[in-house]
Chain A
Amino acid sequence: MTDTATAVRKASDYKSENKPTWCPGCGDFGVLSALFKAFAQLDLDPKKIVIVSGIGCSGRLPEFAAGYGLHGVHGRTLPTAMGVKLANPELTVVAVGGDGDGFAIGGGHVPHAVRRNVDITYIVMDNEVYGLTKGQPSPTTPQGMAAVKRSPSMPKMAPRGVPEMPLNMLAMVLAYGGSFIARGFSSLPNQLVDILVQGIRHPGFSFVQALSPCITFYDTYDLWKGVVEQLPADWNPQDRVRAFDLALNEEKFHLGLWHRRDRPPLHEVLGAAHDVPAPERRAALERVMDAFA
């Protein structure tokens, strides 16, 4: 890839002085390192990167990255990231958070960020559990006893099994009109780097489900290693109907770029305000202020 050949920055340039505080073996390490590698491949200036996160173990990610980070309140990741991007489209804006942050408490924001096609990359670090609050079922935890049996914490909260069926985030984002939808696995870092590079480049809302096991409260490493599978060789990411069909019927976790289509990102649609150069904006403002002088 030409980016690698021309890149002058290294993945380590994107590290902050804060060492990750995740449990040893947490899948989130893989996501963080893939993100740094993707930044390096794209040779992004760390000062032009903003990472916005919600609350959760995954939400701590911005603290570990150089550049700008905002560790916001639980579930409000996407609106904040959208505000940053609209105000300054030159920035690379990455939103990160857990399955709970994005699809429980913050679930109401997902359809709107997707349909507006805000030009950000949203990485959902999906461990199918609430990690930070010590292991309760999340909206992606499998129904019944399957997950409870694997978890040291879930028997306390769901002794008779998880009552609700899990939601299907890929099908949801496809239905909302997502313009870039991919799934990676923290244990397959090269593919995840590639997905993130493409996602950051994509002009629009890039949705990345990053499977990222919680070794402490719901250890799915072995389980997931057995059920991940690459998308078929003849996969056409433009084929939304096929993607939807697979999303609704898959029994495995298919990895790769599920769907992509061109739609103008929101800041381009809103256009005008951003097209006026800063000095002219200032002059216009001064004219307004003069009227009150």
Chain B
Amino acid sequence: MSSRLAEGRRQTARMINGAEAMALGFELAGARIAYTYPITPQIEVMETLSRNGEIAYVQADSEYNVLAGAQGVAWTGERCAVATASQGLVLMSEVMWEVAGNRLPLVMGVFNRGLKGPGWNLGAQQNDTLFMRDTGWLQFYCESAQEVLDFILIAFRVAEESCLPAIVAGDGFYLSHETEEVRIPDRAVALAFVGERVRSGDPMAAGGGNYGGLMAPPKYSRACQRMHHDVTRVAAVFAAAAAEFADRFGRSYHLLSPVHHHDAETVVVAAGTVCGTVRDAVERRRRRGDKVGMVKLHAFRPFPGDALLAAAGGAAKIAVLDRNLAPGMGGIFAAEVRLALHRLRCPATLYSFVTGLGGADVTPEMVERALEYMGAENGRPPETLFLYETGVEE
């Protein structure tokens, strides 16, 4: 055991829910100010922060103010705790672009919740964070409360090293409100891992740090290009940070994690809490001798296309389960996977299943039904399928 791991082993196990884990993550990362506005299912994050009283806490007047305020905090070089969900996140949209463009390394926790489309909804759905796809924010998805805490710490490291803001997302209620045992790192070790906030790499700080003025097209386009490259380079920054995290705390993370993929003929790709359900279904099928595997996606930005193909490219069929929908296009993760398959000339047939919208339950039986559908279907599948308890629909 390395001495660092021995040090990191000083972790306390506690039964907490995802919201408390998120709040603890911010505290351990050394956030000085918390900016939030109440919204279900994030309220427990702000309640924990305010109850613990370690971070100066501001209840803003709306999420618009939350992010504008947090941007101010980040500008001074301090760390800020920001958490929201659903409507709150989309209300922040304008400032989301600005924060990323200003290359401010904010970290925001989001508990995914359906947006007000056809009606109000409180259940888990990933459209809120996925809507931020093009802003330049990094996006990480979690399956457990432990991952929420760990990813907040890793996200601060990665965000600050790459001068890009990061979202750490998890399904509302399934994750925010479910209690599980979480290993909580020692404060000093956590802080040592996250490190000092260094501003030397900030591409916008050169020349006095005057941000946000009018930018002529040549400079603007180069700044956008640089942001693009910096997002793609995060894969390496993440790998280094995650390796150190594993070394200190004994938990190892990657942009994606495959299960039973080596000999899999069919691979199911998913992100978020639904991964537990998929794992269950895959294990059941394995026991029956089916060559099925899965890939859990931790990252949406950067999208780990190459790693995905390395893990699942040998399969004849790839299913993507999306708890989100872009009407007219289909599942959003599926669209990314489709693009990666195409770019890397992978011949696997893609099945895109949209499921669990508005927080509807996704059961292992439903995943098995999707696998059966794929087994029976040998032609070109429709671009988007909808997976319900009652079966598969177009």
Contacts and interface: CB of A to CB of B under 8 A. Distances in A.
Contacts of B37: 105
A107 interface: yes
Nearest to A107: B61
- Select the residue from B62, B91, B116, B120 with max chain A CB neighbours within 10 A: B62
Interface stretch (A16-24, A29-37, A156-164, A173-181): A156-164
A133 B40 contact: yes
B237 interface: no
A157 B46 CA distance: 7
Contacts of A55: 87, 120
B120 A71 contact: yes
Contacts of B252: none
A157 B120 contact: no
A183 to B, nearest CB: 23
A134 B87 CA distance: 17
B61 A139 contact: yes
A199 B38 CA distance: 32
Interface string B28-70: 0000000001111001001100110100000101101000000
A159 B43 contact: no
Given A133-B38, A159-B51, A73 B43 contact: no
B40 A104 contact: no
Contacts of A156: 47, 50-51
A88 to B, nearest CB: 24
A47 B240 CA distance: 64
Contacts of A133: 38-40, 43
Contact of B59 (A73, A137, A159): A137
A121 interface: no
A283 to B, nearest CB: 37
Contacts of A75: 62
A130 B38 contact: yes
A74 interface: yes
A174 to B, nearest CB: 21
Interface string B220-252: 000000000000000000000000000000000
A112 B87 CA distance: 24
Interface string A155-199: 011111000000000000000000000000000000000000000
B50 A105 contact: no
A136 interface: yes
A160 B51 CA distance: 10
A133 B87 CA distance: 13
Contact of A136 (B53, B59, B62, B91): B59
The 3 closest A-B pairs by CB, nearest first: A105-B62, A133-B38, A104-B61
Interface of B: 37-40, 43, 46-47, 50-51, 53, 59, 61-62, 64, 87, 91, 116, 120
7 contacts: A55-B87, A55-B120, A74-B62, A75-B62, A105-B37, A136-B38, A156-B50
